[in-house]
Structure 1
Amino acid sequence: MFNISLDAKGRLAIPTRVREVLEGFGSTGLVVTVDTQDRCLMLYPVSEWSVIETKVQALPSFDARVRVIKRMLLGYATDCEPDGSGRILLGAALREYAGLSRECVLMGQGNKLELWDKARWDGELDRYLQQPMSLDDLPEELKSLSL
């Protein structure tokens, strides 16, 4: 997890360690889109996004819920290539959706990153910690993990 700052122009400096990991995916470019469950942004390496995009486009559009997901994920998807200083420019619509202010939190999530407004993330974290999960509450897939 990285505490990072968004500048007045909407630019975000991607930490060096993150850029190095992105290079392992074959490119430092990112596709940024909205999270349809939480008010944060998801940042995908380009190669990972192409897999997600293909799967989303293949979903049937007859279901209204699927159409909403498609509109959100694909409609907000924006290619972002870091500049010479390792910064990406986040468009106003993306910043507004996630409620981003100057202070942000960037965290790895396996094949993607999440970007949160720091105050919003702190609130979510407090909520998670106040409502600890028991083993009975966990999905079956998680019960078999040994951490």
Structure 2
Amino acid sequence: MFRGVTQLSLDSKGRLAIPARYRDELLARCAGNIVITADPSRCLLIYPQPAWEPIEKKLNGLSSFNPQIRSLQRLIIGNASDVEMDGSGRILVAPPLRQFAGLQKEVVLAGQGEKFELWDVEKWNLEIEAALVYKDGNMPPELEGFSL
């Protein structure tokens, strides 16, 4: 399980150094083979390849005759990029994906269980601020009775 938030920097070539605490697990789970793709929230999703494959299969199994599904397939599967972690624990984030997510130098890697989200630091801060709306009692019904 990937959890936690880490502020990182992309280098001049668009490479991201995976934090050391995740490297061994990624090497053990997928030999450093990773899939990066676009998310509708304008961040990037980073999956170990074995975790990505059932998602891709499920998305491909949906009807492409539905325009909304077809658009989602184009976004997520069409932007999926296979990358391999190098010997220094870095991955290359392709320019089209960096542009899609508006990634500059400063980024945030957020563990989300089986995957990571990669955000531009300013967009991440806005997302976190937006998540605080629940403090005023605007709780979705699915969270009623949920306790931390």
User: Does the alignment reach a TM-score above 0.5?
Assistant: yes
| Equivalent in the alignment of 1:127 | 130
Query: Pick from 34, 38, 63: which aligns with 2:38?
Result: 34
| Equivalent in the alignment of 1:76 | 79
Structure 1 residues 144 and 59, CA, compared in 2 at 3 Å: closer, same or farther?
Answer: farther
TM-score by length of 2: 0.89
TM-score by length of 1: 0.90
Query: Pick from 17, 28, 31: which aligns with 1:13?
Result: 17
Structure 1 residues 123 and 56, CA, compared in 2 at 3 Å: closer, same or farther?
Answer: same
Q: Distance in 1 between matches of 2:31 and 2:135?
A: 38
Pairs aligned (count): 144
Q: How far does residue 23 in structure 1 lie from its aligned partner after superposition? A: 3.4
Runs of 4+ in 1 over 4 A off after TM superposition: 133-136
Q: How far does residue 139 in structure 1 lie from its aligned partner after superposition? A: 3.8
Compare the two structures and name the one with the higher strand fraction: 2
Structure 1 residues 136 and 96, CA, compared in 2 at 3 Å: closer, same or farther?
Answer: closer
Q: How far does residue 136 in structure 1 lie from its aligned partner after superposition? A: 6.2
Gaps of 5+ in 2: none
Query: Pick from 118, 122, 125: which aligns with 1:115?
Result: 118
> Map of 1:39-78 to 2, 5 A cutoff?
39-78=42-81
Q: How far does residue 123 in structure 1 lie from its aligned partner after superposition? A: 1.7
8 Å Cα contact 1:11/1:88 also seen in 2: yes
Q: How far does residue 20 in structure 1 lie from its aligned partner after superposition? A: 2.4
Q: Distance in 1 between matches of 2:123 and 2:31?
A: 30
Counterpart of 1:3 in 2: which secondary structure?
Answer: strand
Query: Pick from 95, 100, 103: which aligns with 2:98?
Result: 95
Gaps of 5+ in 1: none
